[in-house]
Amino acid sequence: VNIPFYLEAKLLINTLNSFNNSVQYLAPPIVEAEVGIPFRYNVSGFDPDGDVLIYDLVSPKQDIGQIVPNYFLPDTVSVDFLSGEFTWFTPQIVGSYVFTIRVQEYRNNILVGTTIVDYQLNVIPAVSNFQWDGNATWLTDTLGDYSYTLPPNTPIQLNLSYTDNGTNVSLEAFSETLSNNTATQSNYTISSTKDSIYYQWTPVSSDARCHPYVITFRGHSNYTGRLYRDLTVKIFVRDNTTSNCDTLLNQLSVPIQKISTKETTVSTTVTPNPFQAECIFKIQSERAIEEVQLFIFNSFGTQISTHQFHGNRYSYNNSNLAAGLYIYTIKLPDGRISSGKIVKI
Give the phi and the psi of residue 148 in degrees, each rounded to 5.
Answer: -130, 145
State whether residue 63 is helix, strand or coil: coil
pLDDT at 259: 34
pLDDT at 10: 57
State whether residue 277 is helix, strand or coil: coil
Q: Report whether 94 contacts 124 (CB < 8 A).
A: yes
Query: How far from the centroid of its chain's Cα atoms is residue 201's Cα?
Result: 27
Query: How far from the centroid of its chain's Cα atoms is residue 190's Cα?
Result: 31
pLDDT at 320: 84
Decide if 7-261 and 267-344 have a common fold: yes
Residue boundaries of the structural domains of the chain: 7-261, 267-344
Low pLDDT (below 70) residues in the chain: 1-18, 63-65, 224-225, 254-265, 286-290, 299-301
pTM: 0.70
Sequence-ordered alpha helix ranges (H) in the chain: 176-179, 245-261
Q: Is the peptide bond before 274 cis (omega within 30 degrees of 0)?
A: yes
User: Whose CA is closest to 101, among 8, 211, 33?
Assistant: 8
Q: How far apart are CA 217 and CA 235, in angstroms?
A: 14
pLDDT at 18: 54
Burial annotation 315-327 (CB, 10 A radius, 16+ → b, else e): ebebeebeeeebb
Sequence-ordered alpha helix ranges (H) in 160-244: 176-179
pLDDT at 302: 73
pLDDT at 66: 73
CATH topology classification for 267-344: Immunoglobulin-like (2.60.40)
Burial annotation 75-114 (CB, 10 A radius, 16+ → b, else e): eebebbbbbbbbbbeebbbebebebbbbbbbbbeeeebbb
DSSP letter string, 165-185: TTS-EEEEEE-HHHHTTSEEE
pLDDT at 262: 43
CATH of domain 7-261: 2.60.40.10
pLDDT at 260: 38
For the stretch 138-147, contacts whose Cβ atoms lie closer than 8 Å and that sit 24 or more positions apart, written own/partner, are 138/233, 141/234, 145/80, 145/83, 145/85, 145/232, 145/234, 146/231, 146/232, 146/233, 146/234, 147/212, 147/233, 147/234, 147/235, 147/236
pLDDT digits (tens, 9 = 90+) for 66-102: 777 778 888 789 999 999 999 998 888 888 899 999 9
